[in-house]
Amino acid sequence: MSKSRKFMAVALTACVLGAPALAGQRTDTKSGPRYHIGRAPTADEIRGWDIDVRPDGQGLPEGKGTVAQGEKLFMDNCASCHGEFGEGSGRWPVLAGGKGSLTSDNPVKTVGSYWPYASTLFDYIRHAMPYGNTGSLSVDEYYALVAYVLHLNDVITDQNFELTNRNLATIKMPNEQGFVMDDRATSEKSFWQKDPCMKDCIAPVKITGRAVAIDVTPEDGKKSRGVE
């Protein structure tokens, strides 16, 4: 092993072990030890990653696209998995329909039946789709695709509607009211105890019925273990 390689091996071991022993290394009390690896990202690099969008539209890039433009893009880039009408091809996810099904025995969670904000659709598709080819489309194409997926869900009904960074946050999703703020800090406060019971908390269990009496055991002629 050459001298410089030997030094690299020592340096790497020190990094792996998190040993703050390398010459010149200082321990910053605020942010922990520093290893002198990498560099601060440039403003451009941060901009490239900082693409999240909030429900009020903050973070949306400038751009626009119509439902009709989105339809063509969807056929070319999305329909092979999600179906031409968002019905899902094979076992790929369904993107449309399911309205009113959330309280049924078979809830179908789609953009239209479940998602509370249209901004999430832009954020999600731009981050993650087309599956396996993320980031391959332009900002305008993403606006058009979002418009088309909203059209498939009857949220946008006009084929000529142009979705932009200015009007996206004004679109109301059907299930927005189905989401509530987490209020457990007040609504469940009465259950909170300073010294919660940690041992033998339930009084001796009393058997009030048997499964066999309500006919839920399999009728294969054998007795289920533990149930008479």
Instruction: Please name the residue that has the structure tokens 């300073």.
Output: 194
User: For residue 205, what are its two tokens?
Assistant: 């269990």
125 sits near ligand HEC (criterion: CB under 6 A): yes
- Which one of 11, 35, 64, 92 is in contact with ligand HEC (CB under 6 A)? 92
Site for ligand HEC in 131-190 (CB under 6 A): 131-132, 145, 149
110, 94 contact by CB (below 8 A): yes
The region of 8-16, 29-37, 117-125, 203-211 touching ligand HEC under the rule CB under 6 A is 117-125
User: For residue 56, what are its two tokens?
Assistant: 């009020």
- Which one of 130, 143, 152, 175 is in contact with ligand HEC (CB under 6 A)? 130
- What are the residues whose beta carbons fall under 8 Å from the beta carbon of 75, sequence distance 6 or more? 84
Q: Based on CB atoms, which residue is closest to ligand HEC, 162 or 217?
A: 162
- Which one of 60, 67, 78, 96 is in contact with ligand HEC (CB under 6 A)? 78
CA pair distance 36, 3, nearest whole angstrom: 21
Q: Based on CB atoms, which residue is closest to ligand HEC, 14 or 79?
A: 79
The site for ligand HEC, by CB under 6 A, has a size of: 19
CA pair distance 118, 184, nearest whole angstrom: 27
Residue burial 14-37, b: 16+ Cβ < 10 Å; e: rest: eeeeeeeeeeeeeeeeeeeeeeee
The region of 57-65, 78-86, 160-168, 188-196 touching ligand HEC under the rule CB under 6 A is 78-86
User: CB 138: neighbour CB atoms within 10 A?
Assistant: 12
What minimum distance in Å lies between the beta carbon of 129 and ligand HEC?
A: 4
Per-residue x/- track, 30-69, ligand HEC (CB under 6 A): ----------------------------------------
The region of 72-80, 169-177, 199-207, 214-222 touching ligand HEC under the rule CB under 6 A is 72-80
- Which one of 13, 25, 58, 80 is in contact with ligand HEC (CB under 6 A)? 80
What minimum distance in Å lies between the beta carbon of 180 and ligand HEC?
A: 20
CA pair distance 101, 105, nearest whole angstrom: 8
Can you list the pairs that 105-112 forms with residues at least 24 positions away whose Cβ atoms lie under 8 Å? 110/86, 110/153, 111/86, 111/149, 111/150, 111/153, 111/173, 112/150, 112/152, 112/153, 112/154, 112/155, 112/173, 112/174
Q: Would you tell me which residues interact with ligand HEC (CB under 6 A)?
A: 77-78, 80-82, 92-93, 95, 110-111, 121, 124-125, 129-132, 145, 149
